[in-house]
Each structure stands twice: as structure tokens, then as C-alpha cells.
Structure 1
Amino acid sequence: MLLQHAIDEFLLYLEIEKNYSQHTLDGYSYDLKLFKDFLVKHDRSLALNDISKTLVRRFLQEKITKDKMQARTIHRKISCLRSFTKYCTRENLLMNDFMIGIETPKIDNKLPVYMTLPELQQLFRFLDGDTGRFSKRNNVMFKLLATTGMRRSELVDITWGQLNLSNNTIRIHGKGKKERLLPLHPIVIPLISSYKESLAEHLIHSSQPMFLNKNGYQLHSYGLHKIFKETLEKAGLPPKQFSLHHLRHTFATLLIQENKENVDLRTIQELLGHESLVTTQVYTHVDFEQKKKAIDSFNIFDSPLIKD
């Protein structure tokens, strides 16, 4: 069987049987296309059973050395290929799993990057004062991200039907099409109402996407990324320092820092839509002031047991 035929079968399986979101399907499709393009570029056979682990290693080596892909990105590429070959082996499309023996690179567990409260307030002040053509849309988009912690893919997929201004909630379709209901922060409610009133009636039908690009089509994640970078620069914040995902980190971090009496990790997990509490535990780093107080109160040097 040819590689492309197997890819088509695999993607159909993910869509129909696994019920994966379009965003996830696009990710798998992109990664598999990269691998196929590598084989074509180097005049290699596209027959599925002709692919070897050596070719996979050369593919990964090229991505690391020439394309400068980071360990986390390489990790996702390997994960995609593993899922693909596991499916092909199970369906008897592949005789020998060429991903067996391919190891994932070690990933450094870095602390999440996030905006400080003054930096977030600086962004908000710019959004409030902006009078551009898409200022109302942008104000709602970025304040929604910063006050709900939703993913950018979840934001661009929102339709007006997911919004309920009667009880001030928004229904999010997360990873694996799992739904979660998020409360809207009081600051975004009047902004949403104002934005909604500025749109033509046919654009606010329940089936319509909430956020459109300059051509009137649903805003794509890449477009949202570009708009965010431009907004950061206009707000006087470094575009290279922060990404849309950092707004998600900012939400979780500041929620714990500023309201630790009312927020626990389980609540953060539910708000972010994490499957495992382990993923959420990365945010335990944020309460630095509490750690500092603990260290400062560790008065071992005043102990009578310690002598010069």
C-alpha cells in the first residue's frame, strides 16, 4: 500500500471512530505530510512497507539540524508517526512497525512563561483605548483568553450559540471534543454585548463563528497569532516574549497568585480542561511569595544550637 493511501485511511479513522476535532486532524495531517514530503525530496519509495526506522531517524535529524525544530516539536512528530504506524499495524496495512526503537528526545521541564499583572494590565489598557476597525473584536478575543484560560483553537471555533448571556457562561469544545462550561468574567460581558451589537444580524446567528477575519470568514488560529503579536507591539510589550499560549499560562498563574484563598489546583484543572491533574501541577511554581515567606521564617541561624 502507498503511504498516502494509508494516511487517508488513518485520518478517516481519527475523524469517524475517534471523533477528533478538526484542529487535531489538521495537526496529524500536517505532520504526516512533512514526512511524506521528506521521502519525495530524497527520492525514496512511497510504499508503506519500504519505510525503515533509518529513514525516520534521517527525517528527524533533518528537522533538528536544518529546520531547527525544538525537542517538544520533534516529540509531537514522533508521537504522530507512532500513532500512525500503530494503526497501520493493527489494520494489517504494515508488516513491520518502523517506529519501534525510535526514542523521543528528552524535554526540559521549564517553568511556564506568563505575563505579570502589570503587563496584563498594560495590554488591557491598550485594548480599552484602541479605536481601530477591529478593536471591539480584539478586545473581546484577548480578554476572553486572559480571563478564561481557553486555548486559541477553542477561541476561534466559538460560535454565537455557545454563548449564553442570560447566565453569563460560554460552552467550550475542548480536546477530544470534550465540553466544559466556563463562567464569563464581569469585565468581558459588556464588551461582548457591544461587539455583538456592532455586527450585522446574519453574522450573529447561533451557527455563525463569533470571530471573523478581515475578509468575513472564520478567523484561523494562525491569523489570531498574527493579530496578537501586532497587538503586543502596539501595547508596548515585546512580541517575541509572549505567545497566545502564554495568556493561558497567565490566567492560571495570576488566578493562583491573586486569589489563592478561593482557588485550588482541581479548580484550575477544570477551567483549563486538563485531563490530568499532573499537567496542572506545573502552576504550583507560581506562589513564589509564599515560598519566600517560608524560607524567611526558617530561622536556623538564630538557633542556640548553632554556635560560631
Structure 2
Amino acid sequence: MSQKAFIEFLDLEKNYSPHTVLAYRRDLELFSDFIQDTDPTLGLEKVNYSLIRNWIVHLVDSGISNRSINRKISSLKAYYRFLLKTGSIDQNPLARHKALKTAVKLQVPFSKEEMQEVMGLLNAEAGFKGTRNRLMVELFYATGMRRAELVNLQLRDISRDTKSIKVLGKRSKERIIPLLPAVFDSLNQYLKERSGLESIQDESYLFLSEKGRKIYESLVYRVINSYFSTTSEKVKRSPHILRHTFATHLLNEGADLNAVKELLGHASLASTQVYTHNSIAQLKSIHKKAHPRNSED
């Protein structure tokens, strides 16, 4: 019963996305199955840290990465915090747990040249599909929004007076992002093409398919991957890399870290600081080339 109450808590009170709730549920089920195989009489409320350590060892032996294991343990932490809060347990078995060490995973952003090449391809396309795809890329690059945020944009989120767009982020947190003049022009061109669709079933949403239905996340991924595969040799060519590109290019041009944090919709500055690694790499390169001492014997 406590697991069901926890999942309802995540869904209804924390307002997590269905994808996130499903991930938490699967992690709990996986751990529960392990405990049942170890001791069928033992419920999750009676688990001690020793058993959790055994599960971690089992996951490591199964070839699961430390990063994935840490995510699963994070789900358990949230579950036991919930049990502690509701009085189901009086001690959190994970209170002193330390995450497994993981290598820093840096996402490689697109270069300015790659962005210019893709925009050149998009500018050459016309019609509904061409203007829609161009606006997708421009919004990702000019706002840093997430893929799910773009998919769920509605017409009412656009402010023509302030030339800005309202984005509904994680945990229903809203943020207002200004639109560059070029992006606003692309938006108007797309809306003109959109109004010419024969049938529109999901009228309130900004981005639609050619059949007038709300677009979906896999379609957005295919669009981004398709265009960037022609100009970039990077392994990852996804909407998320465009988000990294947005943040990295802003920081490289001297943007304030706190301002970038607000634009990205991050809850903490630590999440935004990940992007400074790419900026520091560029600064090191510039420093090495420009500093007078570098030319000395």
C-alpha cells in the first residue's frame, strides 16, 4: 500500500511527469523483487542498509553503470523519505549512503559553424513543414527549452506585446523567455502556414503535424537528428544537445551564470554549472594562444 501511496504522491502532489513517475515505480519494483528473492517475508519498510548494499552489489555484478545505479538509489531515497514523513518508518536506511563515483559526462555542444550550416538548410525550405522545422530549431537554440516544453507550447503562451514566450517547465514551474526578432519573424511565418492547414484538431497547441495534430517528442527528435546529421559528425544530435549549445554559447559570450540558470529553468545553480566546463575549455584554448608567456622558450 505504501508503494501505491508514494506513486500517487509523486503524480498528484509533486506533479512529476508520467515518464518520471514510471521510472520511480520501476526502480521500486526492481528492488522489491530483489528483496522478495532474498526474504519473501520481508517488506520494504523493514529493509536495512545491509540489504540495500547487497542490491547495489547485485546491480554492479549485473553490469549496470554507476550512474544508473545512483539513479535507482535516488528513487529509493525519495521513497524512504516519504515513509519517514508519513510515519511508516522511524529511521531512513539510506540516511548515510554515499553515491557511487561516476565520471563527469560532458555533452559536446554544436559549434557556431554547425548551427549556421543547419540554419542555412532550414532557410532554404518553405511551406508548412519547412517553417515549422525552422522554428523548432530556432526556439531550441534561442531559448534553451527542453523537448517536452516545446511539444507542450500553446498559442496562449506567446505574447506579441512583449515578444516573449511562457514556458511550463518541470514541476509546473513557469518562466518567461524573450524572443529574438529573427525568431519572432520565424514564428509569424509559421503561424501563417499553420493557418492554412486543411484540418486542425489540436487548435490550442503551437506545434502541429501536417494533419493538424499536436506533435510528439519522437517526431521532434527525428527532425533535429535529421538536419544535424548532415552538418555534424557528433555522436549525439538531439534536442538536448541544442539546450547545451544554447547555454554554452551564452556563457562563452560572457553571459551571467545566474541569468542562464533562470533561462534554462534550473532549480539550482549546480545544474547550470555543468555547462561551464565547455566554456572553461574554450577559455583555456584562448589563454594558451594569446598569453605572451606561451611563446617563450
Q: 1:287 to 1:40 in 2, by over 3 A?
A: closer
User: Out of 244, 249, 268, which is 2:244 matched to?
Assistant: 249
Residue 277 of structure 1 corresponds to: 269
CA distance in 2, matches of 1:131, 1:237: 23
1:116-163 deviation digits (Å, cap 9, x = unpaired): 101111222222234687333222112101111112222122111111
Q: Residue 100 of structure 1: CA displacement?
A: 4.6
Residue 299 of structure 1 corresponds to: 293
CA distance in 1, matches of 2:83, 2:57: 24
CA distance in 2, matches of 1:51, 1:108: 30
Amino acid at match of 1:32: R
Structure 2 SS opposite 1:187 = helix
Residue 258 of structure 2 corresponds to: 266
> Which 5+ residue runs of structure 2 have no aligned equivalent?
none
User: Out of 158, 180, 186, which is 2:181 matched to?
Assistant: 186
1:35-82 deviation digits (Å, cap 9, x = unpaired): 41564589644943365656645655565565x654433322221221
Size of the aligned set, in residue pairs, is: 289
CA distance in 2, matches of 1:58, 1:226: 41
Amino acid at match of 2:221: H
CA distance in 2, matches of 1:133, 1:43: 55
Aligned pair 1:30/2:14, yes or no? no
Q: 1:228 to 1:264 in 2, by over 3 A?
A: same
Residue 103 of structure 2 corresponds to: 108
Structure 1 SS opposite 2:181 = coil
Root-mean-square deviation over aligned CA pairs: 3.4
Please say if residues 166 and 174 of structure 2, whose CA atoms lie closer than 8 Å, have aligned partners that are also in contact. yes
Please say if residues 88 and 94 of structure 1, whose CA atoms lie closer than 8 Å, have aligned partners that are also in contact. yes
User: Out of 145, 148, 159, which is 2:143 matched to?
Assistant: 148
Q: Name the TM-score, length of structure 1 as normaliser.
A: 0.76
Q: 1:170 to 1:150 in 2, by over 3 A?
A: same
Matches within 5 A, 1:1-308: 5-18=1-14, 20-21=15-16, 23=17, 25-37=18-30, 39-40=32-33, 44=37, 45=40, 47-49=43-45, 53=49, 56-57=52-53, 60=56, 66=62, 69-94=64-89, 97-100=92-95, 102-130=97-125, 134-199=129-194, 200=197, 205=203, 208-213=204-209, 217-233=213-229, 235-238=230-233, 240-257=235-252, 259-260=253-254, 263-285=255-277, 286=279, 290-295=283-288, 296-299=290-293
Please say if residues 201 and 212 of structure 2, whose CA atoms lie closer than 8 Å, have aligned partners that are also in contact. no
> Which 5+ residue runs of structure 1 have no aligned equivalent?
303-307
Q: Which stretch of the first structure deviates more once superposed, 120-129 or 287-296?
A: 287-296
Amino acid at match of 2:189: S
CA distance in 1, matches of 2:93, 2:191: 52
Q: Which stretch of the first structure deviates more once superposed, 266-275 or 143-152?
A: 266-275
Amino acid at match of 2:79: F
Please say if residues 169 and 184 of structure 1, whose CA atoms lie closer than 8 Å, have aligned partners that are also in contact. yes
CA distance in 2, matches of 1:137, 1:52: 53
CA distance in 1, matches of 2:113, 2:247: 16
Structure 2 SS opposite 1:182 = strand
Fraction of identical pairs, as percent: 27
Q: 1:14 to 1:63 in 2, by over 3 A?
A: same
Please say if residues 48 and 94 of structure 1, whose CA atoms lie closer than 8 Å, have aligned partners that are also in contact. no
Please say if residues 32 and 81 of structure 1, whose CA atoms lie closer than 8 Å, have aligned partners that are also in contact. no
